Amino acid sequence: MYEPMHVPTVPVKTLKSSQQRRQQLKKRTVKFLSVCRDPKVVSSVIRSAPDSVIKTICNAALNVQRGGRVSLGNAEKVLFRKQSGRIAKLVSKKVSIAQKRKLLSQRGGAFWIPALIGAALGGLGSTLFGGNKS
Burial of 63 (C-beta count, 10 Å sphere; 0-12/13-18/19+): buried
pLDDT value at 129 more than 60: no
Cut 0.85: pTM above it: no
Integer distance in angstroms from the first to the last C-alpha of the chain? 57
Task: Give the DSSP H/E element, type plus range, for residue 11.
Answer: none
Mean pLDDT, residues 116-133 taken together: 62
Tell me the residue type at 30. Answer: V
- pLDDT band for 134, please (50, 70, 90 cuts): very low
For residue 101, the model assigns a pLDDT of 92
Show Cβ contacts of residue 85 under 8 Å, excluding neighbours closer than 6 positions. none
pLDDT value at 8 more than 60: no
In the chain, what percentage of residues exceed pLDDT 70? 74
Return d(Cα 5, Cα 55) in angstroms, integer.
55
Whether the Cβ atoms of residue 87 and residue 64 lie closer than 8 Å to each other: yes
Q: Of residues 67 and 14, which shows the higher confidence score?
A: 67
- Number of Cβ within a 10 Å radius of residue 84: 10
Mean pLDDT, residues 46-73 taken together: 85
Q: Is the dihedral of CA 71, 69, 129, 116 positive or negative?
A: negative
Phi first, then psi, for residue 95 (nearest 5°) are -90, 130
Tens digit of each residue's pLDDT (9 = 90 or more) over 10-41: 555 555 688 888 888 888 888 888 888 888 88
pLDDT value at 132 more than 50: no
Residue spans per domain, the chain: 23-125
Show Cβ contacts of residue 132 under 8 Å, excluding neighbours closer than 6 positions. 126
For residue 23, the model assigns a pLDDT of 86
